[in-house]
Amino acid sequence: MLLELKNVVKKFGGITALSDISFQVEKGDIFGIIGPNGAGKTTIFNMITGVYPVTSGDVLFNGQSICGKKTFEIIDGGIARTFQNIRLFANMTVLEHILVGHHCRMKTGLLGSLLHTASMKKEEAEAVEEAHKLLQYVGLDDVADHLATELPYGKQRKLEIARAMAAHPQIILLDEPAAGMNDSETAALIDLIRGIRDQFGITIILIEHDMNLVMTLCNRLIVVNFGRMLAEGAPADVQNNPAVIEAYLGKEDE
């Protein structure tokens, strides 16, 4: 078991944002989290990445609890993520974004950074080379020197994914990767996500509203509504689950 959520509950003051969320993600899964807006999907990501502490329950990564760890420790441990609203660094080039993502895998300390020692230069050169390879893979190498904020929307999304990949994670959490994309961009994204799993061996957990993408990509998924789990299973099973249909389409009047 790569990642396991056990009865996770999150309360903000008196409001229960998540209640009793439990699921398991296996290595190699492309795991979907779907549900209406405000259902608590991003909150699940925030629980996993340590943005907020869980109120109760536990998050296990490779069998070890990661509750209470700091965000950077969790990324260092092997869980990276992207954001629902693109969060890129103003005034940084595309290449620099990848290097920031690679930060936790670099070892040069303060002294090496100050003195620009031989080992620091070597590490930097290797990081830059790897960053170019990664950018080539996602198709952004031709704009490596451009400011990230100058890129079109679809490429900014890709850059976020590449930044997460630069941390060499075991799992990447994608928060609505296809939001705002047209059909052809979404098709390319589907190939990209599949490639990340098949070629890099990275497990994917994604939140998405685009049902076509979810049904094509995910081998398992959960449905969340009002902070509760409505259903869990293979896409086809979930699609036909009456509770899910009700959550999305409402109940038929008898």
Q: Residue numbers of the site for another protein (CB under 8 A)?
A: 49, 51, 70-72, 75-76, 80-81, 83, 87-92, 96, 99-101, 103-104, 106, 108, 110, 112-116, 120, 123-124, 163-164, 167
Of the two residues 29 and 96, which places its CB atom closer to another protein in the complex? 96
Of the two residues 164 and 238, which places its CB atom closer to another protein in the complex? 164
DSSP helix/strand/coil, 106: coil
Give the Cα separation of 121 and 169 in Å (integer): 24
Burial (CB < 10 A; 0-12, 13-18, 19+), residue 227, is buried
Give the Cα separation of 76 and 99 in Å (integer): 14
DSSP helix/strand/coil, 12: strand
From the CB of 79, what's the least distance to another protein, in Å? 10
From the CB of 51, what's the least distance to another protein, in Å? 7
Strands (E), the chain: 3-12, 15-25, 30-34, 56-61, 64-65, 79-81, 171-175, 203-207, 220-225, 228-233
Helices 118-138 + 153-165 axis angle, to 10: 130
From the CB of 99, what's the least distance to another protein, in Å? 6
* Neighbouring-strand partners of residue 10: 18
Of the two residues 70 and 251, which places its CB atom closer to another protein in the complex? 70
Of the two residues 19 and 49, which places its CB atom closer to another protein in the complex? 49
From the CB of 149, what's the least distance to another protein, in Å? 10
Of the two residues 100 and 215, which places its CB atom closer to another protein in the complex? 100
From the CB of 198, what's the least distance to another protein, in Å? 24
From the CB of 48, what's the least distance to another protein, in Å? 11
| Residues 155-186: b if buried by 16+ CB within 10 A, e if exposed | bbbbbbbbbbbbbbbbbbbbbbbbbebeeebb
Give the Cα separation of 248 and 35 in Å (integer): 8
Q: DSSP class of residue 181?
A: -
From the CB of 75, what's the least distance to another protein, in Å? 4
CB atoms within 10 A of CB 21: 24
Of the two residues 65 and 113, which places its CB atom closer to another protein in the complex? 113
Of the two residues 149 and 219, which places its CB atom closer to another protein in the complex? 149
- Among all chains, which residue has been given the structure tokens 């899964």? 29
